[in-house]
């Protein structure tokens, strides 16, 4: 099997200061628990609400292929995309009603982790900034609707969504912009929490940050990543498990 050529960094990041100025979180699979979603079936369900029966399969397949291509671009080229690009690539003109159906179809998979509110408020009480950095096709407005619904929007000091910038994780500039969004300057005093070994852990470590991997059963989230990836500074199984590590690094 051909080996993947990931960017190389040293085995562990150098952190000259033990203080923690900011904790920045991934969204899907981190602040929102991981859900296995069959994207093709999701698109068929969305399309069936608005299209003639003989069009559903063709349009759903075109949307799925477009989404797969944009996520391939994100993984391999670290270039971002938007929902507008997805529909344009698929040759589909979305209506407001179709977009609303898409948002509502995803809603069961977007609820914020029950541990999140206490964790985010506790970090801010300690003077630690809270940020979000998400690889996403969705708009800021969609994400903020979700956070507002779940009562955590006011607990986030700054957020960066890849749909608004040219890059996706693991590009270092995405992490730098997330730091800027919360007013942090030194990556060694920032912690990134995410579930993916390459985009989240390796990306954050390559940018000079500490990285904590939240582990779930997805094959894309194996703890510790692989031999070509920088290892996480800690592996946790739920958000509340972050506290001992923050306490240690903040001392």
Residue 135 within a domain: yes
3-state secondary structure of 86: helix
Residue 63 within a domain: yes
207 and 142 in a single domain? The answer is yes
DSSP annotation string for 185-250: --GGGEEEEES-IIIIIIHHHHTT-EEEEEP-S-GGG-TT--TTSPPPSEEESSGGGGHHHHHHHH
Residue 104 within a domain: yes
- Rounded distance, CA 14 to CA 239, Å? 24
Q: What is the CATH number of the domain that holds 162?
A: 3.40.50.1000
Stated pTM of the model: 0.90
Into how many domains does the chain fold? 2
- Rounded distance, CA 16 to CA 251, Å? 13
Residue 14 within a domain: no
Give the range of the structural domain holding residue 170, as residue numbers without chain letter.
Answer: 22-33+112-250
For CA atoms 25, 164, 82, 149, the dihedral sign is positive
How do the pLDDT tens digits run along the chain, 251 residues long? 333 333 333 334 444 445 999 999 999 999 999 888 999 999 999 999 999 999 999 999 999 999 999 999 999 999 999 999 999 999 999 999 999 999 999 999 999 999 999 999 999 999 999 999 999 999 999 999 999 999 999 999 999 999 999 999 999 999 999 999 999 999 999 999 999 999 999 999 999 999 999 988 665 556 656 668 999 999 999 999 999 999 999 87
66 and 159 in a single domain? The answer is no
166 and 218 in a single domain? The answer is yes
104 and 198 in a single domain? The answer is no
Of 59, 83, 108, the residue at which a domain comes to its end is 108
138 and 192 in a single domain? The answer is yes
138 and 237 in a single domain? The answer is yes
Return the pLDDT at 3.
Answer: 34
Return the pLDDT at 245.
Answer: 96
Contact of 213 with 232, CB cutoff 8 Å = yes
Residue 5 within a domain: no
Of 62, 84, 108, the residue at which a domain comes to its end is 108
145 and 83 in a single domain? The answer is no
Of 74, 108, 142, the residue at which a domain comes to its end is 108
């Amino acid at each position: 099997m051909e080996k993947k050529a990931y960017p190389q960094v040293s085995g562990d990041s150098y952190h000259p200061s033990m203080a923690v100025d900011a904790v920045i979180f991934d969204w899907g699979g981190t602040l929102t628990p991981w859900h296995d979603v069959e994207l093709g079936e999701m698109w068929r369900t969305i399309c069936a609400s608005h299209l003639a029966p003989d069009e559903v399969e063709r349009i759903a397949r075109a949307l799925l292929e477009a989404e797969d291509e944009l996520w391939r671009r994100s993984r391999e080229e670290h270039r971002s995309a938007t929902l507008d690009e997805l529909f344009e690539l698929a040759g589909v003109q979305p209506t407001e009603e179709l977009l609303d159906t898409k948002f509502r179809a995803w809603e069961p998979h977007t609820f914020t982790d029950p541990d999140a509110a206490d964790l985010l408020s506790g970090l801010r009480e300690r003077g630690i900034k809270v940020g979000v950095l998400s690889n996403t096709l969705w708009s800021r407005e969609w994400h903020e609707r979700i956070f507002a619904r779940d009562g955590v929007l006011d607990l986030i000091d700054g957020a960066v969504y890849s749909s608004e910038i040219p890059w996706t994780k693991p590009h270092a500039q995405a992490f730098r912009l997330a730091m800027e969004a919360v007013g942090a300057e030194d990556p060694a005093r920032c912690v990134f929490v995410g579930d993916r070994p390459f985009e989240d852990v390796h990306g954050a470590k390559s940018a000079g940050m500490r990285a904590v991997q939240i582990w779930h059963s997805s094959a894309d989230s194996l703890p510790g990543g692989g031999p070509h990836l920088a290892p996480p500074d800690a592996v946790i199984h739920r958000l509340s498990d972050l506290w001992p590590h923050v306490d240690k690094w903040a001392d």
